[in-house]
Amino acid sequence: MGVVDTSESSRLPTFTLKRVLRDATNGAVGAGLATALLYPFLVAKVRLQAQSKRGAKDNTHGSHGDRHEIKYSGFLDCISKTFSNEGIAGLYVGLGTTIAKQTINNFVFYFFHSALRRLYFTEKGGLYSTILSVLHGMNAGVFTQVIILPMDMIVMRVQTAPRGDPQRSFFNVVSRIYEEGGLRHFWAGLAPGLTLTLNPGITIATQKMLTPAADGLSATARMHFVIGFVSKLLASVVTYPMVVLKVRMSVAKALRQKANGSTTPAGGGLDFVQTIADIVQREGVAAFYQGLWLQVCSAVAKESILNAIRRGMGSK
């Protein structure tokens, strides 16, 4: 009879490439399905976040009549005007690119989250375990932001481009972004993006605290749906101002160019601090929470579906 190793090292999570790839694949599949189901909701959310609070009070159509001049008073108004002006296709603009982005995003996140599991493993409970879980999620989030941010910018540009604008083409969007600021401009919005790594940190920590209780109750996909709901609700409320900043910084140059009626890329985009100051000066602090309920609803619904699918596929 062999000796049972009761040392802490024997209780560490097993690290194998097969497990890491399984976790990453489950997360990617769940994200792709959730994105497809919620896509019109996501398009409306990005368009509302991209417009300024002041602009929403202006006339419905500008003199040029393009999509950037259309202002939305809320979610239903955005859906209605998008459908009226662009048809059903407008509610699904950039669907393929977005699903690809979300699938890659979650594959990268869960790949690093699984690969880093041993580094943040602890059998201690309480505050220490919670802090490690937050750091674990943030660490995986940093890798994800650096790798995915260029794709994220492209997706937001496609979703906010006017109907008939060549910027709706993936390759034209890439070309325009490069013209605006070179290769580094693909990482505009990195500062709020890195701050947003707190979001998966809070999400993972909350799920870790709730999942053991759920497992003790022979958790079903429905229970994991609820766990995903609660965890993302908390994370979304805490980090929402950074979401607004990231979207504004990603589309700022394109919007300025449209406003000036220029056909050449606008130079000198706003940086992180300038964007904050500009929003506060022009729109007030409340602008950082404009569309909060929409972000919460979309993020919570997406995370709930993702968590149910990912856990249902066997990712622990």
pTM, two decimals, is 0.65
Class of residue 83 by CB neighbours under 10 A (exposed 0-12, middle 13-18, buried 19+): middle
Q: Tell me what percent of the residues of the chain surpass a pLDDT of 70.
A: 75
Closest to 223 (Cα-Cα) out of 212, 214, 213, 234: 214
**What does the pLDDT look like over 264-301, one tens digit per residue?**
444 444 577 888 888 888 888 888 887 788 878 887 78
Residue type, 205: A
Q: For 209-259, what is each residue's pLDDT tens digit? A: 887 665 555 566 777 778 878 888 888 888 888 888 877 777 665 555 555
Helices (H), the chain: 17-50, 75-86, 95-115, 126-160, 170-181, 190-195, 198-216, 221-260, 272-283, 292-312
Q: Write the DSSP assignment of 189-233 as a string of letters.
A: THHHHHHTTHHHHHHHHHHHHHHHHHHHTT--HHHHHHHHHHHHH
What local confidence, expressed as pLDDT, does residue 68 receive?
A: 46
Amino acid identity of residue 198, one-letter, is: L
User: Tell me: the pLDDT tens digits for 6-60?
Assistant: 344 445 556 678 888 888 888 888 888 888 988 998 888 888 877 765 555 554 4
| Residue pair 197/242 in contact by the 8 Å Cβ criterion | no
